[in-house]
Chains A and B, each alone.
Chain A
Amino acid sequence: MAEKTKLKGLSRELIALRVASALEDGTYVNLGIGIPTLISDWIEGRDIILQSEIGMLKTGPLATGNAIDQDLINASCQPVTSMLGTSYFDIAESFGMIRGQHIDVAVMGALQINDKGDYAGWSNPARGLFVGNIGGSMDLCAGAKKLYIAMEHTTRDGDYKVVKNLSYPATALGMVSMLFTDLAVIEITSKGLVLLEVAPGISAEDVQSVTEPKLIISKDLQEMQF
């Protein structure tokens, strides 16, 4: 079965690097838990301001050693540092900023995504619970001007994560515009999934073999540049 063959794609760090290079200078960005968190390592020195929904703008690099302060963490519960120009605010202000469409890009992880830009990320039914950890994900989907997904292209067992129909509970419908995986960069358009880039050593056929919906191959298809 072709879809069970695990293709050798990018590391999680390189997926994060590819997303980082897609972010524009002069933007306000929120990073979700998982691969998105790693993006912060690749944007140091750039004119990108990270919003952390705990109530912080201009979140600095991760803190280590004596710089760790239990009163200063990001939304993934990692100790972080402040920077010149950092501001703090309370949670209603933070989510007002998010729902009020002031965040340019939110990058989230996902369990499944389909060709309409719907995605599922807050609950895995295999856990056998109707409830789950929603966190800030649905607010970011509702409010960010652009929503990107960064994830592994398939499950650990090689099953589809890019599917025709979500079988996991949705986080949001029709909001995702770009998908970055270990194998490909895909744009979600009204016509469907457009394959823009493939990882080094990966072909368009390889990506299609692990993608359930039919891909539209961009006429400008290229290998990812780092």
Chain B
Amino acid sequence: MDKVFPSIDEAIADIKDGAMIAVPGFFACGVPRALLQAIIKKGTKNLTLTCGCGPLLGATDELKALVQNGQLKKVIDSYGLYRSASKGMQDPFEQAVRAGTIEFEVYPMGTMAEKYRAGGAGIPAFYTPTGVGSVVEEGIVTNIEANRGQKETRIINGRKYVLEYALEPDYAFVHAYMGDREGNLRYAKTARNFNHVMAAAARVTIAEVENLVDSGAMDGDDVHTPGIYVHRMIQVPRPKFAITID
């Protein structure tokens, strides 16, 4: 099996307006920057980007372009706003969230992680103690009031839990340090973060890898994401990030 595409543009060619794409990365660490740039160039509209911990605060240029090109319908994340309110007021994403032109739906980070894990593992929903006693328990936390809804809760063994649903995005863009042609991936250090669970959760997973090797060149013990979860591969140069948030 060879999953390597001749170009990044061909690897994302079938992504249509309205698609839901999982974007891993923890701030500036492990973000699929080349694939984000490719979707900006393609101009796909009405996108829902489902994240985990602020990759768009790491890939700031890409976020600005996506917002300014009107490509985003919705972002789902646990952390997507600048910490500083004054910096937030200058941020085109926060401005769009305030205006209600982009929906921003927020969950606790561990709930985001479990939504992908469950989605990739055939579990449609799960009870979690996280968020009990906060607005997270009452309903979906979103800037669009009409979408807030109710969440189910249940007492199990005397403790209260919130029902949260799995996520199965249409696509996942993942970034790996190394991959072989059959899609086995290995990540570097803390750049692993959301990459593996998103690869497993999405219907189509597209992996950008810094180092592409032949099948058999990776030891099976070194594989973090088995190739069964990865559908398309492309090789990209190592991205450069400024390591900062504020």
Chain B binder among A9-17, A167-175, A218-226: A167-175
Contact of B134 with A88 in the complex, beta carbons under 8 Å: no
How big is the B interface, by class?
35 or more
Contact with B26, one of A68, A69, A73, A82 (Cβ below 8 angstroms): A73
Contact of B28 with A135 in the complex, beta carbons under 8 Å: no
Q: Assuming A95-B110, A136-B108, is B243 touching A68 (CB within 8 A)?
A: yes
Contact with A71, one of B79, B85, B117, B191 (Cβ below 8 angstroms): B191
* B212 contacts chain A at the CB level, 8 A cutoff: no
Contact of B224 with A90 in the complex, beta carbons under 8 Å: yes
* SS of A interface (majority): loop
Contact of A139 with B111 in the complex, beta carbons under 8 Å: yes
Residues of B close to A98: CB separation below 8 A: 110
Contact with B114, one of A33, A79, A82, A92 (Cβ below 8 angstroms): A92
Residues of B close to A172: CB separation below 8 A: 132-134
Residues of A close to B19: CB separation below 8 A: none
**Complex Cα–Cα for A143 and B193 (A):** 19
| Least CB distance, A90 to chain B, in whole angstroms | 4
Contact of A131 with B104 in the complex, beta carbons under 8 Å: yes
**Complex Cα–Cα for A174 and B80 (A):** 27
Contact with B80, one of A70, A128, A133, A136 (Cβ below 8 angstroms): A133
Residues of A close to B114: CB separation below 8 A: 92, 95
Contact of B134 with A171 in the complex, beta carbons under 8 Å: yes
Instruction: List residues of chain B with CB under 8 Å of any chain A CB.
Output: 26-30, 52-54, 58, 78-81, 83, 85, 88, 94, 97-98, 104-111, 113-114, 116-117, 128-136, 141-143, 145, 177, 188-197, 224, 240-241, 243-245
The 7 lowest CB-CB distance pairs between A and B, nearest first, are A95-B110, A139-B110, A173-B133, A71-B188, A92-B117, A138-B108, A142-B129
Jot down 21 A-B pairs with beta carbons below 8 A, ordered by A.
A55-B190, A56-B190, A70-B241, A77-B29, A90-B192, A90-B193, A91-B194, A126-B85, A129-B97, A130-B145, A131-B141, A131-B142, A133-B83, A133-B106, A135-B109, A138-B110, A138-B130, A143-B110, A169-B135, A172-B134, A173-B132
